[in-house]
Amino acid sequence: MRAAERGIWKSAEMRRRLAAAGLEISAGKMSGWWAGTPATIRLEELDVLCSILDCAPSDLMTPEPQKVEARRPRQAETINGENEVGPTVSPRFGKPRSEPPV
């Protein structure tokens, strides 16, 4: 959207402007940025992008709290308000393994 607001309608034009500012971007990476699904973006790239689009980084990013929540480790289910602890592991004594076949 920021590119369109600045009159940049094609990703090739954006790549040319980035190159003029000293940032060479591959066609694949530019395609991801243009589609709104960037895999990665370095801070240096973000600085150049913001300079060309005359905006702040926050203008280009959308918070996605549901993705943050999905990455958090799940807590053990609680029973009567107490965390349930998984089964305890104890060593087996004697012959821990079966004999190999003859």
Give residue 81's pLDDT: 57
Q: Which residues contact residue 39 at a Cβ distance below 8 angstroms, ignoring those fewer than 6 apart?
A: 29, 32
Q: Are 86 and 76 in contact (CB under 8 A)?
A: yes
Distance between CA atoms of residues 8 and 3, nearest Å: 5
Q: Which two tokens stand for residue 24?
A: 């060479």
Q: Which two tokens stand for residue 43?
A: 């801070």
**Domains of the chain, residue spans:** 2-58
DSSP secondary structure string, 31-88? HHHHHT--S---HHHHHHHHHHHT--HHHH----HHHHHHHSPPPPPEETTEEPP-PP
Q: What is the mean pLDDT, run by run of 10 residues, along the chain of 102 residues?
A: 86 92 90 82 91 90 80 64 62 68 73
Give residue 79's pLDDT: 55
